[in-house]
Amino acid sequence: MAPGGGARHIGRMSLAVAEADPLPLEAARDILRRTFGHSDFRGLQADVIAEVLAGRNALAVLPTGGGKSLCYQIPSLVRPGLGLVVSPLIALMTDQVAALVQSGVAAARLDSNIDLDERAETWRRIESGELDLLYVSPEGLMQPWMLDRLRKTPLALIAIDEAHCVSQWGHDFRPEYRMLGRLAELFPNVPRLAVTATADARTREDIRAELRLEGSPEFVASFARPELILSAERKRGNVEKKVVELVTARPNRSGVVYAGSRDKTEGLAQALRDAGVPALAYHAGLDKRIRAERLEEFLEADAAVMVATIAFGMGVDKPDVRFVIHADPPAAIEAYWQEVGRAGRDGDPAEGITLYGAADLSWALRRIGERDVDETVKQAQVRKVRQLYAMLDGSSCRAAAVRRYFGEEGVEPCGQCDLCLGTVETFDATEAAQKALSAAHRLQGRFGRGRLVDHLLGKTKDVSDWEAGLSTWGIGQELSAVQWRDLTEQLLFEGLLREDPNDGRPLVGLGDAEAVRAVFRGERRVGMRKHPEGAEARAPRKGRKGREATQVGPADQALFEALRAWRASEAKAQHVPPYVIFHDRTLAEIAAAKPGSRAALARLNGVGEAKLAHYGEAVLQVVGNFG
């Protein structure tokens, strides 16, 4: 018998049969409906599932919230044997297992938090063939005794979740993921499916090489996230105050605020609490137990705001996050899409709002300069940072810019980001830019931004004879101080000016010489945004289609709230997050449809058989009370 322990599978013959046979996919669809309560597959799910059902390896790249987990969960249920899922984080496993159990699936996890009794029971279920899905960590799986035991078990598939962890080019690199390449020879007859949301070609190449998926098909979904409403604005004034304003304009919603340092997360969380928002800070400097507690509190809350560093990320599968605010900008467009992508996973509208400034750009560039890596790697990183700021400070659709960055072609504007809504107008500021660049040149990189602006306006305090004698002194009367500051900032974003950190008192000098020359020759135009306040991220406006969190008509609001209250008490009793019982969207559908029978309830999205059996009566009763 093959070392995979598999009496099943796969010669070429059976492959051909599987390919021609539509039945497995029908079985998959049936499970999608009955167990998970969804009416049809989304995006590339059906293609990926068909591939795995045919016993072949694959790599699937789907955006966050794209429904990656069903791609391995369903084949695990259709194919005989145990579905093995490798996952990098306990929180992620816990969440998925809880949700599966709610849907009536025999799923369990084996990780360092599981006690001996439960472990023994799980192994009993594995070996008796009762278990359908087992979640393990990479280091847990690769222990020799574990591998030995699993090799005696028929496996339906091996899924490697968050597969980008294998690559140094991806985020969240996890060295222990590299060991997973050995699964190819250890389980040669078991289909392996790698899934991730990190798309770039380089990471994909690494995944294929490291996980031995050469020659397997790649399924790459569109990176469109139509539910995300994007906006960005330059930092002005007090960022903390701005964040409090943005959050308090979105009451009773769950959100994530990303900040660049541990101190800032603490400060922002406190400021939000002072404003009456239930906010928690989260960063790697906190005790592990406190972090776990806060994560749990956030996941289980109906509305809470997590103020976090990027230590908070992978494994945060809360589907009803309604906004992600970057109080400091992300590291690159990949990180942006992943972090903003944590909003709106349930498919309902959600916002991504980014605050950024030229100081953030300078800081990012300086950090790259200080890194102990190859010059070519540095250049690649600098390019990525520049591309991020070009998107943030640009003037055409943000969603389209991101998708093009990921290599999508023929992308249409999203029609709902701040830039699509046409609130940003630009005017030609090439002449002003020439003045600012000349001034920076004449001042010989000896002063900061404020002084450059004063110089252009001829307003420098206690000006020296030398400075007052320069030809650029006071030549900038056509713009206000605010406009000059804006333009200076933009020139920094465009790399025409450069800031020298100078121990926290940055000095402005000329940037890329070739580009500066092009501006002077008039070959490169500088378009400037018309401020003020036009591009500001606003609170969600009522009445605009798609802007409300979950669509509940005013007449159904009371029933919706009653259903949420019932769900909250049920979740509390079971110690699970509310959304594993029913998503907001399902409750909204129930509130609108007001089902009078189990059959009517079963027809709604998100109501599978197990949930109908468990909660059907209770839900019908809540609805009945409103009859």
SS3 label, residue 135: strand
Torsion angle (degrees, nearest 10) of CA 45, 214, 336, 283? 100
Q: How far is the CB of 107 from ligand ADP (least distance, A)?
A: 14
Which residues of 511-614 form beta strands (DSSP E)?
Answer: 527-530
CA pair distance 326, 264, nearest whole angstrom: 12
Kindly write out the interface string for residues 29-68 of this chain, putting x where it contacts ligand ADP by CB under 6 A and - elsewhere.
Answer: ---------x--xx--x----------------x-xxxxx
Pairing of strands 425-428, 527-530: antiparallel
Site membership for ligand ADP, residue 135 (CB under 6 A): no
Q: Which does 169 bind (CB under 5 to 8 A by kind): Zn ion, ligand ADP, none?
A: none
Q: Smallest gap, in angstroms, from Cβ of residue 74 to ligand ADP? A: 9
- According to DSSP, residue 482 is labeled H
State the minimum distance, in angstroms, from the CB of residue 419 to Zn ion: 6
Provide the minimum distance between the beta carbon of 317 and ligand ADP in the complex, in angstroms, as a whole number. 6
CB of 42 to ligand ADP, least distance (A): 4
- Give Cα 624 to chain centroid, integer Å: 39
| Count of alpha carbons within 13 angstroms of residue 248, beta-carbon side | 15
Lay out the site mask for Zn ion across 357-396 (x = CB under 5 A, - = otherwise).
Answer: ----------------------------------------
By CB under 6 A, the residues from 285 to 344 that bind ligand ADP are: 317, 319
Report the partner that residue 511 touches, choosing among Zn ion, ligand ADP, none (CB closer than 5 to 8 A by kind). Answer: none
Give the nearer residue to ligand ADP in terms of CB position, either 42 or 386.
42
By the rule CB under 6 A, 460 interacts with ligand ADP: no
Quick one: CA dihedral 567, 64, 606, 87, positive or negative? negative
Residue whose CB is less far from Zn ion, 342 or 403: 403
Extract the tokens encoding 192: 């392996």
Tell me whether residue 65 or residue 81 sits nearer to ligand ADP (CB atom): 65
CB of 396 to Zn ion, least distance (A): 8
- Using the rule CB under 5 A, give the single segment among 207-215, 311-319, 399-407, 612-620 that binds Zn ion: 399-407
463 DSSP 8-state letter: -
Nearer to Zn ion among residue 172 and residue 408 (C-beta): 408
Phi and psi dihedrals of 527, rounded to 5?
-95, 140
Say how many C-beta atoms besides its own lie within 10 A of residue 286's C-beta: 17
Q: Which does 420 bind (CB under 5 to 8 A by kind): ligand ADP, Zn ion, none?
A: Zn ion
What count of other Cβ atoms lies within 10 Å of the Cβ of residue 573? 8
**Which residue type is seen at 584?**
D
Residue 531 CB neighbour total at 10 angstroms: 16
Q: Which residues contact 328 (CB under 8 A, 6 or more apart)?
A: 258, 259, 260, 261, 264, 355, 356, 360
The answer to whether residue 402 forms part of the interface with Zn ion (CB under 5 A) is no
> In whole angstroms, how close is the CB of 355 to Zn ion at the nearest point?
18
Binding flag, residue 228, Zn ion (CB under 5 A): no
- Supply the minimum distance, in Å, between the C-beta of residue 70 and ligand ADP: 5
**Residue 414 interface partner, choices ligand ADP, Zn ion, none, CB cut-off 5-8 Å depending on type:** Zn ion
Hey, which residues between 97 and 116 contact Zn ion (CB under 5 A)? none
Minimum Å gap between C-beta 62 and ligand ADP is 5
Please choose, from the candidates 65, 82, 416, the residue with its C-alpha nearest in 3D space to the C-alpha of residue 222: 65
Q: Single out the residue of 324, 414, 452, 507 in contact with Zn ion (rule: CB under 5 A).
A: 414
Distances from the Cα of 84 to the Cαs of 158, 161, 292, in angstroms? 5, 10, 25
> Helix, strand, coil proportions of the chain in percent (round to 5)?
45, 15, 40
Q: Cβ distance 317 to 95 under 8 Å?
A: yes
Nearer to ligand ADP, 277 or 350 (CB): 350
**DSSP of 430-480, one letter per residue?**
HHHHHHHHHHHHHTTT-S-HHHHHHHHHT--TT--HHHHTSTTTT--TTS-
Binding of Zn ion by 229 (CB under 5 A): no
User: Count of alpha carbons within 13 Å of 545, Cβ hemisphere only?
Assistant: 3
Q: Which is nearer to ligand ADP, 70 or 163 (CB)?
A: 70
Residue 295: alpha-carbon gap to chain centroid: 16
Give the contact letters, 149-178, x = binds to Zn ion (CB under 5 A), - = no: ------------------------------
Residue 278 interaction partner, one of ligand ADP, Zn ion, none, beta carbon < 5-8 Å per kind = none
The answer to whether residues 442 and 461 touch, using CB atoms and an 8 Å cutoff, is: no
| 111 Cβ contact partners less than 8 Å away, ≥ 6 residues apart | 90, 93, 135, 136, 137, 140
**Structure tokens, 252:** 């009773």
Say whether residue 584 binds ligand ADP (CB under 6 A): no
Among 242, 345, 384, 498, binds ligand ADP (CB under 6 A): 345
Angle at 469 between CA 465 and CA 474, to 5 degrees: 110
279 versus 399: smaller Cβ distance to ligand ADP: 399
Q: Which is nearer to Zn ion, 91 or 417 (CB)?
A: 417
Name the binder of 397 from Zn ion, ligand ADP, none, CB < 5-8 A by kind: Zn ion
Give the residue with the Cβ less far from Zn ion, 157 or 228.
228
Amino acid making up residue 304: A
* Cα-to-chain-centroid distance, residue 396: 22
Does position 183 bind ligand ADP by CB under 6 A? no
Strands 133-136 and 82-86: parallel
Question: Residue 413 and residue 402: Cα distance in Å, rounded?
Answer: 11
Among ligand ADP, Zn ion, none, what binds residue 298 when CB lies within 5 to 8 Å by partner kind? none
Sign of CA dihedral 196, 202, 204, 206: negative
549 within 8 A of 253, measured Cβ to Cβ: yes
Minimum CB distance to Zn ion, residue 423 (Å) = 11
CA 256 to CA 261: how far, in whole Å?
Answer: 15
What is the smallest separation between the CB atom of 405 and ligand ADP, expressed in angstroms? 20
Per-residue buried b or exposed e for 578-604, using 16+ beta carbons within 10 Å of the residue's own CB: bbbbbbbbbbbbbbeeebeeeeebbeb
319 binds, among Zn ion, ligand ADP, none (CB under 5 to 8 A by kind): ligand ADP
The binder of 67, among Zn ion, ligand ADP, none, by C-beta within 5 to 8 A per type, is ligand ADP
Instruction: Identify the residue whose tokens are 């009416």.
Output: 39
Token readout for 138 is 């990479």
69 binds, among Zn ion, ligand ADP, none (CB under 5 to 8 A by kind): ligand ADP
CB closer to Zn ion, 413 vs 501: 413
Residues at the site binding ligand ADP, with contacts judged by CB under 6 A: 38, 41-42, 45, 62, 64-70, 317, 319, 345-346
By CB under 5 A, name the binding residues for Zn ion. 397, 399, 413-414, 417, 420
